[in-house]
């Protein structure tokens, strides 16, 4: 078990590594060539920037916690531990990056067994570093952050993400969107789940939901929401949001309302 003092030390080093990866990504975006894009699958894009950023992060984190394993999007390290594991998305919002849309981030989390204990999300374009440790509160660029106090859905802005290759559940998704469009301030699709989550954490949005996500999409941002006073569950209100491929994160006040909406279309 890491002491709180050790965890804070690890956090500070992780923030430096995330910003270093972000600086690399920012630099590469200035002269990025679409010919460098690869396809992992239909609409599942990757580039050398994702891979090199991940190598940089893994190399740095190995020095920070040699005993920890890795769960990575690009597979540059696949050795996992029975105790501590880093969960890394080196470039969350790759499609935005490729098209020059300035919403993408670096996401890093540390999980012990099945409990998130550290998260860092660095939004590259705005130079905003969001971070949290278990029991230590949530911050952005050294300032404490908190979820919105909006009391209900009618006063809320909701973020989400659109499916881009698995369309089997699209009718359920569209039904939920139709309902939320009529009961909220509006819906937003930023294109980076990590950014969606930290925007909930700092009160820019009241909620975020999405399905078919991977652990590296959500782990870093989820603990930041929790430490900012928010609530994070799967679509049934359970705890399987890191590896369960569906997540609902809110300011807490509107959580039951959105769960009620989701239960109409996602209960089966």
Distance CA 48, CA 148 (A): 37
What is the rounded average pLDDT of the residues 122-148? Answer: 98
Q: Which comes out higher in pLDDT, residue 39 or 14?
A: 14
In this prediction, residue 220 carries a pLDDT of: 98
- Tell me what pLDDT residue 43 has: 41
What domains sit in the chain, N to C, each tagged with a CATH number? 4-144 (3.30.540.10), 153-266 (3.40.190.80)
pLDDT for residue 40: 58
Decide if pLDDT at 36 tops 70.
Answer: no
Residues 6+ apart with CB under 8 A from 257: 152, 153
- pTM for the structure as a whole: 0.94
Instruction: Average the pLDDT over each of 12-26, 30-44, 128-142, 231-245 and give the range with the smallest value.
Output: 30-44
The radius of gyration computed from the CA coordinates of the chain, to the nearest angstrom, equals 18
- Residue 175, pLDDT > 70, answer yes
Residue 46 confidence (pLDDT): 58
Question: pLDDT, tens digit, for every residue of 178-223?
Answer: 999 999 999 999 999 999 999 999 999 999 999 999 999 999 999 9
* Residue 120: per-residue pLDDT: 98
Task: Say if residue 67 carries a ligand binding annotation.
Answer: no
Q: Of the candidates 44, 51, 45, which has an alpha carbon nearest to the alpha carbon of residue 24?
A: 51
Cα separation, 227 vs 146, whole angstroms: 8
- The pLDDT, as a whole number, for residue 108 is 98
73 labelled ligand-binding: yes
- For residue 77, pLDDT beyond 80: no
Q: What is the 3-state secondary structure (H, E, C) of 210-226?
A: EECCCHHHHHHHHHHHH
Query: DSSP per residue over the chain, as a string?
Result: ---HHHHHHHHHHHHHHHHHHHHHHHHHHTT--GGGEEEEETTEEEEHHHHHHHHHHHHHHHHH-TT-EEEESS-S-----SSEEEEEEEEETHHHHHHT-S--EEEEEEEETTEEEEEEEEETTTTEEEEEETTS-EEETTEE-------SGGG-EEEE---SS--TTHHHHHHHHHHHHTTSSEEE--S-HHHHHHHHHTTS-SEEEEES--HHHHHHHHHHHHHTT-EEE-TTSSSTTSSSSEEEEE-STTHHHHHHHHHHHH--
Quick one: pLDDT at residue 49? 86
234 in a known ligand binding site: no
**CB neighbours of 75 closer than 8 A, spacing ≥ 6?**
none
Q: Answer whether residue 76 shows pLDDT above 90.
A: no
Under 8 Å between Cβ of 73 and 89? yes
Residue 29's pLDDT band (cuts 50, 70, 90) = confident
96: Cβ–Cβ under 8 A, 6 or more apart, which residues?
102, 103, 104, 191, 192
* pLDDT of 124 strictly over 50: yes
Does 197 appear as a known binding residue?
no
User: What distance in Å separates the CA atoms of residue 9 and residue 218, rounded to the nearest whole number?
Assistant: 23
Mean pLDDT, range 233-260, rounded to an integer: 96
Q: Distance (Å, rounded) from C-alpha 245 to C-alpha 229?
A: 23
């Amino acid at each position: 078990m890491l002491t709180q003092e050790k965890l804070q030390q690890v956090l500070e080093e992780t923030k430096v590594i995330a910003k270093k990866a972000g600086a690399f990504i920012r630099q590469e975006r200035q002269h990025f060539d679409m010919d460098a894009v690869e396809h992992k699958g239909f609409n599942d894009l990757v580039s050398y920037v994702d891979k090199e950023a991940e190598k940089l992060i893994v190399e740095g984190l190995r020095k920070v916690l040699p005993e920890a394993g890795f769960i990575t999007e690009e597979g540059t390290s696949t050795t996992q531990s029975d105790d501590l594991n880093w969960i890394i998305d080196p470039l969350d919002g790759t499609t935005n990056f490729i098209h020059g849309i300035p919403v993408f981030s670096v996401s890093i989390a540390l999980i012990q067994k099945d409990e998130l204990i550290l998260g860092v999300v660095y939004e590259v374009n705005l130079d905003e570093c969001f971070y949290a440790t278990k029991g230590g509160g949530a911050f952005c660029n050294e300032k404490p952050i908190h979820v919105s106090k909006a009391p209900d859905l009618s006063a809320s802005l909701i973020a989400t993400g659109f499916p881009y290759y698995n369309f089997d559940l699209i009718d359920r998704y569209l039904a939920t969107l139709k309902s939320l469009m009529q009961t909220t301030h509006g819906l937003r699709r930023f294109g980076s789940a990590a950014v969606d989550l930290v925007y909930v954490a700092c009160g820019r949005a009241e909620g975020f939901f999405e399905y078919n996500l991977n652990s590296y999409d959500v782990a870093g941002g989820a603990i930041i929401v929790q430490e900012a006073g928010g609530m994070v569950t799967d679509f049934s209100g359970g705890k399987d949001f890191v590896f369960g491929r569906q997540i609902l994160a809110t300011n807490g006040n509107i959580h039951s309302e959105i769960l009620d909406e989701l239960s109409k279309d996602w209960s089966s």
